[in-house]
Amino acid sequence: MPGTQAALERVEPEQADVDSQGIVDFLRLVEDKQINMHSFMLLRRGLVAAEGYCRPFGASTMHPIFSVSKSVTSAAIGIAIGEGRLSLEDRVVDFFPDKLTGPSHRYTTRMTVEHLLQMTTVHPRSVETGADWVKSFLTAPPSHAPGTVFGYDTIGTHTLCAILQRITGLTVHQYLQPRLFEAIGMGEIEWDSCPMNINKGGSGIRCTTEALARFGQLYLQQGVWNGRSVLPEGWVERSASRLVDNTHARMLLDGGQGYGYQFWRCRHNAYCAFGMGGQFVVVIPEKEAVFVSTANTMMHKDGHQMILDALWEALYPAMAGQKPAGVGAEDRIALRRKLDELSLIIPKGRAASSIVPRISGRRWLLAPNPPGFDACEFDWSGGNAPQLRFYSGASRADVRFGLNCWLIGREPFSGSQSANAGTWVDERTCVIHIQLLDALQMFMLTCSFTDDGLLVIRVTPAGAVFKHAPAYSLNGELVRAES
């Protein structure tokens, strides 16, 4: 069967010269730091030394990887260059004469394929107007000469996909299917497209955790898989080099170690593909290792850095290069138990409060609010599976959540499937976490009750769906029983 690949070999950590205790320490750091991690995988010398999936996510989950897609786009350009289809020095405007309505600015005219790869385009950030993203990219007034300033330009990366589609007649997804995805056994890959039916070069891929690990392993192996050169010789070394200074970048990522061809430099001479919210493929040549994570860290600015910090603090020293002595069956059982118990982070709190009998089944009228809810009520009769109900006219949206555990249900804002959990952080404050399962989005509902019948539900969105949505309050007043 074309594209069939042997499964990655799973071994005990010590068989890959990884200390099991270091993995346990990593997982404890994730818990202590309250990192909202969805999965992780650690490969050493091509062997899976550890992997974990935080319920309800699993090994087969197709996870959005956001800007890790940029690194996949970079691989596609490398393959195309290796096939002689284009070069780093090709001017971008020459591929799209039909999108230029007049003379181009001299800065835009000088922009090359390599400038797009290096994030040194003529724009300080993404330019996206209308349906034709490439046209807006090429016709928007430039702010500086290409090759002079690092600027995180997602539409510049997207333009690389448009170039490849122009010269091959295939989408990047179609082009990479036999050349990369099947060649290294990445399995099913989903890739969204822009309004012009061009794959979103800077984002848009959904895949499994293992698919990411295979991609990282390919780079660790200098682009060679099972003896076959998937990437042209020298492409990995060039892509992973510090080609551009990014110390002025506003995104904190291991302190600004530099940037290559859609890859970030990291500590310890490592490099990574990075996607919003904690999607990582970290290649660590000195340890012959690849680390992968999926997550949603967007509740905190630069929360993704906590994942890297935990990696360097716990996993990196666990790969000392020699088998640790004295590891027995009990240690392996302890690690396996820790991995088997992984679930999404729940805030620390209690499963009960003394005020529950006074609030269960009561209704609060809500002041005008962004979702348009008229009223709400809490039903605690379900024991460890209470409900928060929102009313809007004749419609009702229920949030069924577990107390100190996760339950699968629906979120109240669009009805998408979600995992929901709640806990009492004090006698009058219940915090409900809602995690969407098909999109990188969560909501934290902080429900505060007062003695005089007031309710405030502070709604804090965090994720890609409501990326720039501010927190807001639902203010309620208890409906009093008539005497």
Mean pLDDT of 5-23: 93
Cis, peptide link before residue 368, omega less than 30° from 0:
no
- On the question of a common fold for 13-340 and 356-478, the answer reads no
Matching residue, tokens 């076959």: 228
With cut-offs at 50, 70 and 90, classify the pLDDT of residue 323. Answer: low
Q: What is the mean pLDDT of the chain?
A: 94
Q: What are the residue boundaries of the structural domains of the chain, listed by start?
A: 13-340, 356-478
pLDDT of 2 reads 44
pLDDT of 482 reads 56
Among the listed ranges 57-61, 312-316, 383-387, which one has the minimum average pLDDT value?
383-387
Selection from 59, 58, 42 nearest residue 50 by Cα:
42
Q: Distance (Å, rounded) from C-alpha 219 to C-alpha 224? A: 8
DSSP labels, 87-144: -TT-BGGGG-GGG--SPPPHHHHH-BHHHHHHT--SSSS----SS-HHHHHHHSPPSS
Contact (CB, 8 A) for 313 and 307: no
Superfamily for the 13-340 domain: DD-peptidase/beta-lactamase superfamily (3.40.710.10)
Domain 356-478's class? mainly beta
For the chain, give the number of residues: 483
pLDDT of 8 reads 95
Segment 416-424 long-range contacts (CB within 8 Å, at least 24 positions apart): 419/56, 419/344, 421/344, 421/346, 422/386, 423/346, 423/347, 423/348, 423/349, 423/350, 423/351, 424/349, 424/350, 424/351, 424/352, 424/353
Q: Distance (Å, rounded) from C-alpha 215 to C-alpha 291? A: 11
Residues in Cβ contact with 337 at an 8 Å cutoff, skipping those fewer than 6 apart:
none
pLDDT of 361 reads 94
Mean pLDDT of 162-167: 98
User: For residue 343, what are its two tokens?
Assistant: 């679930």
